[in-house]
């Protein structure tokens, strides 16, 4: 797989986004791995669990690690149907604006995913 997306598998919003990426990944070029898994720790020891839980990480085919809004941009650029959105994030200043929005959503992802009291495994509390 040329790209690997590390996402929080305990987060309903994150799992939903991973499913969306899979649905738009026409050429199966993005591998999805739960950042909480032993596989993620073994394959990407340079990304700590705390870092992975703080924001989305995408690892490119050359080993480049993209984080946060930049990771979202890289994913969008790899999905033909959504590439235009990724191109918008290449505009000057776009990531500067997108990163704070991304950080807000990432910090509150358990709340945006639904009622944290009804989380599948209690991790959303």
Mean pLDDT by 10 residues, the chain (125 residues): 92 93 96 97 96 96 97 97 97 97 92 60 51
Locate the DSSP E strands across 1-125.
3-7, 30-34, 57-59, 65-67
pLDDT score, position 110: 86
pTM above 0.75, yes or no: yes
Question: What pLDDT is recorded for position 112?
Answer: 78
> How confident is the model at residue 66, as a pLDDT?
98
- Give the DSSP letter of residue 82: G
């Amino acid at each position: 797989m040329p790209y690997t997306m590390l996402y929080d598998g305990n987060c309903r919003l994150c799992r939903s986004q991973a499913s969306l990426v899979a649905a738009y990944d026409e050429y199966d070029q993005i591998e999805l791995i739960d950042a909480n898994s032993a596989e993620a720790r073994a394959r990407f020891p340079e990304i700590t669990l705390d870092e992975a839980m703080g924001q989305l990480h995408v690892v490119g085919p050359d080993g480049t690690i993209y984080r946060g809004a930049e990771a979202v941009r890289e994913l969008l650029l790899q999905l033909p149907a959504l590439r235009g959105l990724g191109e918008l994030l290449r505009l000057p200043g776009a990531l500067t604006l997108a990163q704070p929005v991304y950080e807000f959503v990432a910090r509150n992802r358990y709340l945006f995913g639904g009622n944290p009291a009804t989380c599948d495994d209690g991790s959303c509390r």
